[in-house]
Amino acid sequence: MEDGTVLDVRNFSVNFGILPAVRDVSFTLRPGETLALVGESGSGKSVTSLGILKLTPPVPFCRIEGQALLRTRKGAVVDLVQASAEEMRGLRGREAAMIFQEPMTSLNPVHPVGAQVGEALRFHQGLSKRAALAQAAELLDLVGIPDARRRLGAFPHELSGGMRQRVMIALALACEPVLLIADEPTTALDVTIQAQILELLQRLQQKTRMAVLFITHNLGVVAEIADRVMVMYAGRVVEQAPVRRLFHAPLMPYTRGLLRSVPRPDFSGAEQPPLEAIPGSVPDPLAPPPGCSFSPRCGHFSPGLCDSVAPPLTHAEPGHLVRCARWADVAGAA
């Protein structure tokens, strides 16, 4: 594991019985860096994050392979894949935390939000109940919840969706983790609240220098917050590049399809190019197509080349990886 790296994921795979959900994923994260993980529903984004923190079902229902090396705040390197259940309880929340997609189902409905935020502080930092609640009030105030001390006694159903998401952020950041995984934290929020949540996360990241793995399907959010982008399809990484490079010169036909399905903010009215839909759907993981998994939906499909052998992840340029046998032709056509 290189110096200065917070998370180093190597050949990471997650299998549910005979179902391969995530296959051979590798990436790194540095302090203060945001890596956006994008792709269609069913591409393996959330399973990758849950597998890293070992929040998947236990063996034999789920089998995790590869390595997920985490550098703790004290400099020790821990392989999360090999860590025991007791070790993971000590790491989750303190060294690595997660903001889940739906706060209403993630927060405990029968406990006040102050007690839930304070629980992490009491478990990891050994604070008394009074001290934990005092710090929980400071955290709720930090994430922008008005009258934070009074809100300590509120139950999740008494808060709006935006405020519940802020509570989830406070809970995740309570112990200032070195790694934050945000699994679509702005889904189902209106655009005003979404912008506030994103601004809050960026401000807190600048303050704590935590590394962020941001999972989303919203490419507008990716363009705003990410340093690098990793695109997943059918459980595999198909492209990875710095955000500007990927948006201006994508090399994987699937990535190009995703970008063409989003309205362009730099065009208006009649100038707006027609949106394009990617034909077909994500293949069945139990019966994948031969060769490239995207080949049945690809406009650059070449018989005998794309349907023979699954293409490897290739270094097209420094820092730009692509899984496509015809990436050079795609770049030339662009």
pLDDT for res 97: 93
The DSSP-derived string for 149-167 is HHHTT--GGGS-HHHHHHH
- Considering the domain architecture, whether residues 283 and 207 belong to the same structural domain is answered as no
| CATH number, domain with residue 187 | 3.40.50.300
- Considering the domain architecture, whether residues 77 and 205 belong to the same structural domain is answered as yes
pLDDT > 70: percent of the chain: 96
pLDDT for res 188: 66
Last residue of a domain, one of 172, 197, 226: 226
d(CA 72, CA 7) in angstroms, rounded, equals: 9
pLDDT for res 264: 67
In a domain, 104, yes or no: yes
pLDDT in single tens digits along all 334 residues of the chain = 788 899 999 999 999 989 999 999 999 999 999 999 999 888 999 999 999 999 999 888 999 999 999 999 888 999 999 999 999 999 998 999 999 877 778 899 999 999 999 998 999 888 999 999 999 999 999 888 889 999 999 999 999 888 898 899 889 888 889 999 999 887 767 788 788 888 888 888 988 899 999 999 888 889 889 999 999 999 999 999 999 999 999 999 999 999 888 776 666 666 667 778 888 888 888 888 999 999 999 988 999 889 888 899 999 999 999 999 999 988 876 5
Residue with tokens 């705040």, as numbered in its chain: 73
Last residue of a domain, one of 193, 226, 259: 226
Domain extent for 314: 233-333
Last residue of a domain, one of 164, 193, 226: 226
Q: Which pTM does this prediction carry?
A: 0.91
pLDDT for res 195: 85
In a domain, 44, yes or no: yes
The DSSP-derived string for 26-91 is EEEE-TT-EEEEE--TTSSHHHHHHHHTT-SPPTTT-EEEEEEEEE-TTS-EEETTT--HHHHHHH
